[in-house]
Amino acid sequence: MNIHDLAKHLNISIGTISRALNGKADVNAETRKRVIKAAQEFGYAPNQSGRSLRQGTTGLVGFMVLTNRDRETRGEAFFISVFGGMQSYLYSCGRDLVVHFGSKDEDALAHMRRIVERRIVDGLIISNTTRIDKRIDYLAKGKVPFIAFGRSENAVPHSWLDLDFEGTATKAIDHLVSLGHTHIAIASASDDVNYGHIWEEACQAAMAKNGLRLTEDLILREPLTEFGGYRVGERLLAMAQRPTAIALVDNTMAIGLYHKFQDVRLVPGKDIAVVGFDESPNGEFLRPSLTQFKISLHELGWWLGKHIVDLIEAKAAGTPVRHHRKIWPMDMVVAESSMKEHRGKA
């Protein structure tokens, strides 16, 4: 079946068929669904190579994930859920998601430049942003539609989405203080990823609000892996005055931390209070159950899909770009690892 047959079958013009399959905004949602459904049923697919040459577009959105970060062990469960939500939206627009994994052996900027210069995608999501991220300046200068999944301090205006690190830090510290803890440590990232800095500063502010100090020796920076969490446990146990509670910036670290506590027969929630981060990937399976923050990753992915398409269509139409910025909310779920009121000394 060709596009003429599809138009005849649906009693819709060829132009409408083409615009629906290209995700154009001037086609209503119901018509787009009819066209996509019929195209699937009859096995029709436009010639992507020819369409790309004619229109200068690919119908693809890229998501760049860096595997040369400490956080790669967490990436599968976290990002796959985000990808699912993003693809759900892109599918409704006749577009598709392509994931680009950065190698451990290559420069992130160089990898991204290859993607852009080869015109593989119409828009791009970049993740694991650093405090000053060269990729952001490059994309903004080239007027490439993009969203940074993570904040940075780059001066150039751009769209971004980030998790509520300030909110989670404040809720975690306030919760622990409400239980009577005053000697609190935090576990943060050991690399230059920006959310580690945001988390630390937010924890310091939350401690100060409660009349406490977060001294440098209580900030335990380690790789965001199971081994990093194990090292955090070793460092806690080596302290002359062991903290009575700890808050983590990543749940993968909680797995290693629990293992170290198990080695010396310490029980989270009984001997030391632990607050994790988001519920991905394995926090719900830890015992005692881990206090952590709930987040809808599918909805987050949908948001990314919708707003990257907005940016792509604005560029295609030559209309002014409206940048999108959002802090994604997270709700604390208190569990066994931080329920017990603290009364004694470390």
Beta bridge partners of 248: 187
Q: Which residues touch 227 (CB under 8 Å, ≥6 apart)?
A: 256
Q: Which residues touch 194 (CB under 8 Å, ≥6 apart)?
A: 129, 130, 131, 133, 150, 151, 152, 153
Is 165:135 a contact under the CB 8 Å cutoff?
no
Residues of the chain above pLDDT 90, percent: 55
Residue carrying the six token digits 């010396």? 264
- Lowest mean pLDDT segment, chosen from 84-93, 103-112, 150-159, 313-322: 103-112
* Cα torsion through 260, 262, 267, 272, rounded to 10: -10
| Three-state secondary structure call for residue 193 | strand
How many residues make up the chain in this entry?
346
Which pLDDT score is estimated for 55?
Answer: 52
Q: Is 218's pLDDT higher than 80?
A: yes
Which pLDDT score is estimated for 273?
Answer: 96
Cα–Cα–Cα angle for 336, 229, 219, nearest 5°? 95
In 55-202 the beta strands, taken as DSSP E runs, fall at 60-66, 96-102, 123-127, 146-149, 159-163, 184-189
Of 160, 162, 163, 181, nearest in space to 172 by CA: 181
> Looking at residue 329, what DSSP letter applies?
P
Write the Ramachandran bin of 78: left for phi over 0, alpha for psi from -120 to 50, otherwise beta. alpha
What is d(CA 172, CA 189) in angstroms, rounded to the nearest whole number?
17
What is d(CA 53, CA 293) in angstroms, rounded to the nearest whole number?
46
- Lowest mean pLDDT segment, chosen from 25-29, 240-244, 299-303: 25-29
Mean predicted lDDT score pLDDT of the chain: 86
Is 46:20 a contact under the CB 8 Å cutoff?
no
Q: What average pLDDT does this structure show over 33-50? A: 71
Split at pLDDT 50, 70, 90, the class of 47 is low
**CB-count burial class (<10 Å; 0-12, 13-18, 19+) for 258:** buried
Residue carrying the six token digits 């923050």? 293
Split at pLDDT 50, 70, 90, the class of 102 is confident
Cα–Cα–Cα angle for 340, 342, 345, nearest 5°? 140
Q: What average pLDDT does this structure show over 78-107? A: 84
Which pLDDT score is estimated for 76?
Answer: 58
Of 135, 89, 119, nearest in space to 310 by CA: 89
Q: How many CB atoms lie within 10 A of CB 210?
A: 16
Q: Is 160's pLDDT higher than 50?
A: yes
Which pLDDT score is estimated for 165?
Answer: 94
Which pLDDT score is estimated for 190?
Answer: 85
**In sequence order, which ranges of 218-296 are alpha helices (DSSP H)?**
226-238, 251-263
Q: What average pLDDT does this structure show over 290-306? A: 93
Q: Is 147's pLDDT higher than 50?
A: yes
Q: What average pLDDT does this structure show over 296-300? A: 92
Which pLDDT score is estimated for 344?
Answer: 64
Q: Is the pTM of this model over 0.75?
A: yes
- Lowest mean pLDDT segment, chosen from 39-48, 80-89, 299-308, 321-330: 39-48
Q: What average pLDDT does this structure show over 134-156? A: 93
Q: Is 317's pLDDT higher than 70?
A: yes
pLDDT tens-digit series, residues 236-294: 999 999 999 999 998 889 999 999 999 999 999 999 999 999 866 566 778 999 999 99
Split at pLDDT 50, 70, 90, the class of 104 is low
